[in-house]
Amino acid sequence: MKRKEFISVLWSSSLIGSACNQFSLQPISVTINGPAHHLGHQLRQPSKLVAKETKNIKTLIIGGGVSGLTTAYFLKKNGYEQFLLLELNDRVGGNALAGNNHITGYPYGAHYITIPDANDKPLISFLHEVGVIVGFNEQQLPIINEEFICHAPDERHFMNGIWNDGLIPHQQISEADRQQFQRFFALMHEYKLSMGKDGKHAFTIPVQSASMDEKWLQLDDVSFHDFLTKNGITSGALYWYINYCLKDDFGGHAQQVSAWAGLHYFASRRGNAANAESDAVITWPEGNYWLVNKLKKDLQEHIINNSLAVEVDDQSRDTILVKVKQEHHTFNVKANQVVMATPHFINKRLLKQPPEAFNKLTIESSPWAVINITLNADFASTRGIPLSWDNIIYGAENLGYVHAQHQAIRLPNQDTVITLYYCFCKQTPALERQKIQLWNEDDWKTFVIDELKQAHPNIKHYMSNIEVWIWGHGMVLPAVGLKKKLLKIKHEYSSKRILFAHTDYSGISIFEEAFHQGLSAANQILHAHQG
């Protein structure tokens, strides 16, 4: 029997079985989307473009993710207008893009930030400017806009047939496991307080502010799994939780991630606010696309969408020549400076003569699927803790789902949208990408139902629409040894003409790191301009 015939039989069987069920199975539509790969994949072919015009500009920014937008935002804010920003897709946002339907907005990627570190003055200032922070108390702690602080109930987990409060299964595990959870968090707290000989915290955000003490850098040489094993961490329940966290931020598990990166995840956050707990989450229905809209607000005249940079030639003494392709048009850009706010694997293809250190460096990134599912009003009734903002299923491969409307004031008996996150990291990123590229609508429908039916056995009876957004290359995987390689590149290669601003070069892919990558590039441009 052929694969498609087999799938058809399965679905026919499920329809027959549901006829005896009290539910009626409504049609489920499925759409599959993602970034503009049809343009991006053209980078694999040698460029033979003949430009029909040339644009002259002082600064060109390639890439409209958070890093590129932040660069543009601070240039504009400081009165620097001589720049253009090229974006591959039809709108800017990078992995903070979002969608919407008749019910709500919802994220295609990153969906929250945490309380900012008190020492991160630039980020605090920005959040104040855009209304996330509405003021400061007498101790100068930020007052967060109550509308954006994640409402209760904020977290729940499904284990042993019931939804339980929080993400840690305190009541559902053995005493031995419980003790290991306590030991683990006590150990992470020790590292959170640790300082280097240079007087800096061992782990902090942004990573450029962290200690360069060799005592901490040597943690990049071993996996987080080996570090945990050495410290007596062996609990299966705890390892599932740790891997859930690492996959969520890094797209990899404890055996893939360096000990430095693993510790960074658990020991770098030290934000404080006047009206929120330090571990509170700041979020919106559309996720971090809310912040993207604030960054791009005054930049429309500088942005050129649907544009693929295919070559960056830095051979001229005076200018950098960038070849650009649009669907029905090609042009050149001559610039004095270029900000490459694009992933490392793209930069290696773009640069006509990349530095040797760049060619030797490989940065891995697992593919992701962010799946928004429209459900009817009956879905919310479940056993145990009610529908929360973050909902995880203990033992599952997926990263649970976020309730997109959690921050909204909703009337009862309304349809809703949940966002299921899945990181494909069981095999190599290349193999995982090949696998999901072959999936059709029925494959994704079966996949989604299978991932959720443990906690929601009748999930398919509530569904009306599934929107799949595929990220072929998700966030940077901070593998063993990557941090030291990034430091080496930074030491060996510097240019005032070509600047790199992407979270690949932080080794940590979160909004805060993208923000500081962009801010750093903007500051260098402004300094050169003023000098």
pLDDT tens digit sequence for 323-338: 999 988 899 999 999 9
How is the chain split into domains, by residue range? 38-98+288-363+482-530, 112-134+176-280
What pLDDT, on a 0 to 100 scale, did the predictor assign at position 380? 73
> Residue-wise over 54-76: b if at least 16 C-beta within 10 A, else e?
eeebbbbbbbbbbbbbbbbbbbb
38-98+288-363+482-530 topology per CATH: FAD/NAD(P)-binding domain (3.50.50)
| Percent of the chain whose predicted confidence (pLDDT) is above 70 | 92
pLDDT band at 492 (very low <50, low <70, confident <90, very high): confident
CA distance 412 to 139: 40
Q: What is the mean pLDDT of residues 340-361?
A: 90
d(CA 321, CA 228): 49
Which pLDDT belongs to residue 120? Answer: 96
Mind listing the pLDDT tens digit for each residue in 131-161? 999 999 999 999 999 999 999 999 999 999 9
Over 70: is that where the pLDDT of 410 sits?
no
User: How much is the pLDDT for 321?
Assistant: 95
Residue 108 has pLDDT above 80, yes or no: yes
Average pLDDT for residues 425-452, to the nearest whole number? 95
226 membership: H or E segment, kind and range: helix 224-230
The pLDDT value given to residue 16 = 35
In the prediction, which pLDDT does 481 show? 97
Report the run of H or E that residue 242 belongs to, with start and end. helix 236-250
pLDDT in tens, 291-315: 999 999 999 999 999 999 999 998 7
Paired tokens of 114: 């945490």
Under 8 Å CB-to-CB from 120, ≥6 apart: which residues? 205, 206, 512
Q: What is the average per-residue pLDDT within 63-75?
A: 98
Neighbours of 437 (CB within 10 A): 11
pLDDT at 4 > cutoff 80: no
Nearest residue to 268 via CA among 110, 421, 120, 124: 120
Q: What local confidence, expressed as pLDDT, does residue 36 receive?
A: 66
Indicate if 112-134+176-280 has the same CATH topology as 38-98+288-363+482-530: no
The band of 7, judged by pLDDT with boundaries at 50, 70 and 90, is very low
pLDDT mean across residues, the chain: 91
Q: Which one has a higher pLDDT value, 491 or 344?
A: 344
Q: How many residues does the chain have?
A: 531
Is the pTM value of this prediction over 0.85?
A: yes
pLDDT of 54 > 80? The answer is yes
Token pair for residue 62? 């390639």
pLDDT of 491 higher than 90: no
Residue 2 has pLDDT above 50, yes or no: no
Q: What is the CATH number of domain 112-134+176-280?
A: 1.10.405.10
Q: Is the pLDDT of residue 236 over 70?
A: yes
Parallel/antiparallel/unpaired status of strands 155-159 and 390-393: parallel
Beta strands at 368-375 and 390-393: parallel, antiparallel or unpaired:
unpaired
- Beta strands in 198-319, from DSSP E residues, in sequence order: 281-283, 303-304, 308-313
Question: Would you say residue 43 has pLDDT above 60?
Answer: no
Cβ atoms < 10 Å from Cβ of 388:
24
Neighbours of 145 (CB within 10 A): 16
Instruction: Give residue-wise pLDDT tens across range 155-188.
Output: 999 999 999 999 999 888 999 999 999 999 999 9
